[in-house]
Amino acid sequence: MDFRMEHIFDWPASLIVPILAAGEDIVPMEDLPNVTQRKALERRREGSKMFSRLEWNVHGQIPKIAQKIISPEKLNFIEESVWDDQTQAFTVRILPHFFRKQITCRTVSTWSDHDGGKKARRVFGGTLEIHIPVIGPIMERTIIDYLKKNNDENAKMVRKALAQRFGPPQS
């Protein structure tokens, strides 16, 4: 199942992108709904790219039909991400701890100028596929719903953090 989300931020990408390129989080990702813990396992820079491996512990409401197969601890995963200075984008591959052969997830989060460079646009999209009969499509929709809620909440948190860091947006 494909998904796509877009958020506009009232600060120029030229202020935001250097933070991301440095490997810094704009906001603590652990503060997102449904995230229990996020731990950096590896982070290294090679030229114009930043490589990261992060372990995520997450939780959420598992649809009743899937509860016999999927327990909360089976939602945890490793994120392998690459930030590319040239494309101003994160490319991410999710490696679940369980059901690795049945679940694939890849995302791209791209930052660019918007409104003549006065604002920044973040486009986040990707594909989630769960190859488990009957419950796969149900789980895909549920997980993408959580992902969208977290991404919307993250956008609010980023706006607040940017206002604290750079002051109110310039009109």
- What is the DSSP-derived secondary structure letter of residue 31? G
Q: Which residue has the higher pLDDT, 26 or 60?
A: 26
Residue 62 has pLDDT above 80, yes or no: no
Phi first, then psi, for residue 41 (nearest 5°) are -100, -30
What is the percent of the chain where pLDDT is above 70? 90
- Measured CA to CA, the distance from residue 88 to residue 2 in angstroms comes to 21
Using DSSP's 3-state secondary structure scheme, residue 131 falls into coil
CB proximity list for 116: less than 8 A, separation 6 or greater: none
Distance CA 164, CA 143 (A): 31
Give CA–CA dist 168/162, Å, rounded.
Answer: 8
Q: Reply yes or no on whether the pLDDT at 71 is more than 80.
A: no
Domains defined along the chain, listed by start = 2-166 (3.30.530.20)
Mean pLDDT of 40-66: 83
**What strands, in cross-sheet order, belong to the sheet with 119-130?**
2-9, 119-130, 103-114, 89-96, 77-84, 49-58, 35-46
Selected residue with higher pLDDT from 146 and 111: 111
Alpha helices in the chain (DSSP H): 13-21, 135-166
Structure-token pair, residue 114? 């918007």
Instruction: Yes or no: say if 129 and 143 are a contact pair by the CB < 8 Å rule.
Output: no
Chain segment 78-93, per-residue pLDDT in tens: 999 999 999 999 999 9
Q: Rank 15-19, 73-77, 145-149 by mean pLDDT and report only the highest.
A: 15-19
Quote the mean pLDDT of the chain.
89
pLDDT(66) > 60: no
Tokens representing 69 are 């197969």
pTM check: above 0.75: yes
